[in-house]
Amino acid sequence: MEKAYKLLAFQEGISNGKAKELIDKGVVTVMGKKIQVARGEMKEDTVFKVKDIANARVIFEDDDILVVDKPAHLNSQEVEKKFPQAVLLNRLDKETSGVMLLAKNEDFRKKAINEFKNNKVYKEYVAIVDGKIVEEEIIDLPISTIKGKTARSRIDELHGKPAKTTVYPYMVEGKKSKIKIIIENGRTHQIRVHLQYAGMPIIGDLQYGKPSNQVSRVMLHSKVTRILGYEFQAKEPKEFFHFGF
């Protein structure tokens, strides 16, 4: 037996540090199952599969704003580093893909942050969840977050901050549903926590949702964002078509 990251490093001909990074990003699987613990002990003949990570694609750019379609498995700070001329306006979870905004000057950044604070930004997501969702549902429950190496959020009616999520049914295929989600507030892990609480956990979400051997990511995508007269859209990635939708 040997630690997973050391076996991966040997198999791929990379450094131990790079191997740990790939496992932490969630792109390493064995027999279809995502490896979650880099230091976990595994058999020495284990064969790993490493998923390629796409590049962040620029959707739109002008003198004020830079908009990218963030791929899954890149965190928001990594995307920001790729565009040194701009600073983040919003963040997406590591395994969430889609529209992400960066400001190119301080004046626009202040205006945009004010729009976020006053809930004037339209944020539409699409997700694939476990369960048959056929009716609109509003989840208006406060959320609190404990931040550490890995953030953890929960419904907290005593100490939580306001959070509102509206779910619209799109399609049902077997025991899974594709849904549209519109959020206000935008708390850490808001959609994932609210959907878990409402009994419609997101497929591929190992922290709050439903594990799946078909995908190695959370099936959540930021599809449409409207801010200060702009509208941006990002098409759903190919993983969203693995489930027959």
Question: What is the C-alpha to C-alpha distance for residues 44 and 86, in angstroms, rounded to an integer?
Answer: 44
> pLDDT band at 204, cuts 50/70/90?
very high
Question: What is the C-alpha to C-alpha distance for residues 170 and 219, in angstroms, rounded to an integer?
Answer: 14
- The number of domains in the chain is 2
Helix residue ranges per DSSP H, 26-138:
76-82, 106-117
Question: What is the C-alpha to C-alpha distance for residues 111 and 230, in angstroms, rounded to an integer?
Answer: 13
Do 116 and 167 share a domain, yes or no?
yes
Instruction: Please tell me the predicted confidence (pLDDT) of residue 243.
Output: 77
For the annotated catalytic residues, the residue numbers are 93
Give the distance between the most distant pair of CA atoms in the chain. Answer: 57
Instruction: Please tell me the predicted confidence (pLDDT) of residue 122.
Output: 97
Structural domain containing residue 8: 2-50
Using alpha carbons, select from 115, 57, 94 the residue that is nearest to residue 216.
94
For the cut 80, the answer to whether the pLDDT of residue 185 exceeds it is yes
Q: Take residue 20 and report the two structure tokens written for it.
A: 């740990």
Do 9 and 92 share a domain, yes or no?
no
Quick: pLDDT tens for 27-58. Answer: 888 887 788 788 888 888 888 888 878 889 99
pTM: 0.85
What single string gives the DSSP state of each residue in 7-42? HHHHHHT--HHHHHHHHHHT-EEETTEE---TT-EE
E-assigned strands of the chain?
Answer: 2-3, 28-30, 33-34, 41-42, 49-50, 57-61, 65-70, 87-88, 97-103, 122-130, 137-140, 143-146, 152-155, 164-173, 176-184, 220-227, 230-233
Do 37 and 126 share a domain, yes or no?
no
Do 194 and 234 share a domain, yes or no?
yes
Query: Pick the residue with more confidence: 150 or 138?
Result: 138
Do 19 and 128 share a domain, yes or no?
no
Quick: pLDDT tens for 74-97. Answer: 999 999 999 999 999 999 999 999
